[in-house]
Amino acid sequence: MDLSALLTVGQTALELGLICSLTVLALFLSYSMLNVCDLSTDGCFTLGAAVGAVVAAAGHPLLSIPAAMLAGVCSGLVTALLQTKFGINSLLSGIIVNTGLYSVNIAVMAGSAQINLNKADTVFTMVKDLLAGTPLAGQSTTVVAAVAVILTVAFLTLFLNTRLGLAIRATGNNPDMVRSSSINPVFTTIVGLCVANAFTGLSGCLMAQSQKMAEINIGGGMVTIALASLLIGSTLMGRGGIFTRAVGMVVGAFIFRLVYAVALRLDVLPAFMLKLISSVIVALAIALPYLKEQWPTVSRRLSYKKAAAGRGGN
């Protein structure tokens, strides 16, 4: 692989990593802070893509961003209400919303399974025009995604250090404490999931516009891919303040995409392996600490059996 090919691979990984890191940041809020595994992420990502594409195709590329985020908020609100007000288990709430969103997403795209944006203005084409003639010309995707990521990281750093942000973190960190405090966990869960899903929607919106197409399966497996990035990020930069950890999420997303892109480029793996790899990463990252904890017991049992066999016992 020559240098220019390497750069192309790096570029793609950077663009995809930045766009997907918005979903990782969403999970940073819902999964790491609120301790809710939001399984509606796939559907919400597609919802953001669909809403954003429809609005952009109608000639309002700038409006597509708040529209997609608002759609994400609505999706998050439904998931949150199901688990806080209707007594539905949080995993199940996510799955229910995810399933329902499939129909909603097709309805948003006017009954079709995809929307083509080849001829439409998108935020990326707008920025491309703006950057024409500057040193950053040709980098419009990276620039737009980077601005979105920087704003999101800044927002999360500020937000999670407000009183509301602290209350949201406490809700996930020690539910017992929150139950006997003046924090209303219903309120914090609702706010947390709404904000998180706004970023998932934004992520989907930018993904669709950057590849000039929204389709019904664009968000498939996104929750696992984002979790894999999140776990890589928190392994590398999991200690420290909110800012460090949020930056870690972006780094995790980039590393995940980079490793994957290189493997793809070198023909180590076919493209369809992406989802298996992310599943394996997530499973391993969560299982390893548990296995490490179990190891002393297992090793004691093994040595005990060995000794017993040595004594001729059973």
Partner 1 sequence: MLNITHISKTFNPGTVNEKKAITDLSLHLAPGDFVTIIGSNGAGKSTLFNAVCGDFLTDQGSIVLNGQDITFMPAFKRAKHIGRLFQDPMRGSAPGMTIEENLALAAGSGGWFSHMSQKDKKRFRDRLALLDMGLEDRMRQPVGLLSGGQRQALTLLMATMNPPWLLLLDEHTAALDPGTAEKVLKLTRDIVAEHHITTMMVTHNMKQALELGNRTLMMAEGNVVLDVSGKERAGMTVDDLLRRFKAGTGKDLDNDRILLSE
Residues that bind partner 1 (CB under 8 A): 158, 161-164, 166-167, 169-170, 173-174, 176-177, 179-185
Task: State the nearest-atom distance from the C-beta of 33 to partner 1, in Å.
Answer: 9
- Tell the smallest beta-carbon distance from residue 246 to partner 1 (Å): 15
Q: Which CB, 126 or 170, lies closer to partner 1?
A: 170
Least separation, in Å, of the C-beta of 242 and partner 1? 10
Shortest distance (Å) from residue 128 CB to partner 1 = 36
Smallest distance, partner 1 to C-beta of residue 3, A: 44
Of 60, 141, 43, 49, give the one whose Cα is nearest residue 95: 43
Tell me how far the alpha carbon of residue 23 is from its chain's centroid. Answer: 3
Least spacing, CB of residue 92 vs partner 1, in Å? 25
13 and 257 in contact (C-beta within 8 Å)? Answer: yes
Closest to partner 1 by CB, 13 or 230? 230
**Considering beta carbons, is residue 122 or 171 the nearer one to partner 1?**
171
Q: Which CB sits closer to partner 1, 179 or 306?
A: 179
For residues 118 and 180, which CB has a smaller minimum distance to partner 1 in the complex? Answer: 180
Select 161 or 279, whichever has its Cβ closest to partner 1: 161
Q: Quick one: 225 or 242, whose CB is closer to partner 1?
A: 242
Taking the complex as a whole, the smallest distance from the CB of residue 43 to partner 1 amounts, in Å, to 29
